[in-house]
Amino acid sequence: MSDTQLNSPPTHQERQIANEGFQKLIAAIDEIDHPENTPEISILETGEPIQIPLKVLKMLAEILRNYRDGNAVSIVPVGTAFTTQKAAEFLNCSRPHVTKLIDQGKLKAEMVGRHRRVQFEDLIKFKKNMIKERKEALIELMRDSEGLGLYEAD
């Protein structure tokens, strides 16, 4: 299982179930949130206890929160290498645009034979940087608009 996807939006019933699970899990995590704790859970149908690292339990809570909010969820190991097509899908842009970003040195990639591969970690860094730059540009645009009297901040 290299990556896990819940890429279709949850149904109303699934969102309700996720909300109930999220609320109970968060309450349980609040009680046991200590670095030395290794929580044990059990599936009602089997009754078999399963030890789960606290970080993984917190990740499960995050998955439930997103699912409750109607978001699709995907779990990808950090060391995963993406094709330029998969990188484009992740960045919500075209494959040629990703290729251009790589050629310009804005996005790191490695060659595997004749094909480019982008590490997931590098995609995350690039996306965070892109979001930061957009915010800075928006703030600058607001300042310019205020200076020209076109926009008033509250």
Domains of the chain: 4-75 (no CATH), 81-147 (1.10.1660)
The one-letter code for the residue type at 125 is K
Split at pLDDT 50, 70, 90, the class of 151 is confident
Nearest to 88, CA basis, from 72, 104, 100, 73: 100
What CA–CA distance (Å, rounded) separates 77 from 5?
12
DSSP secondary structure of 41-89: EE-TTT--EEE--HHHHHHHHHHHHHHHTT--EEE--TTPEEEHHHHHH
Structure confidence by residue, pLDDT tens digits, 70-109: 988 888 888 899 999 999 999 999 999 999 999 999 999 9
pTM exceeds 0.85 for this model: no
Can you tell me the mean pLDDT for 40-45?
Answer: 87
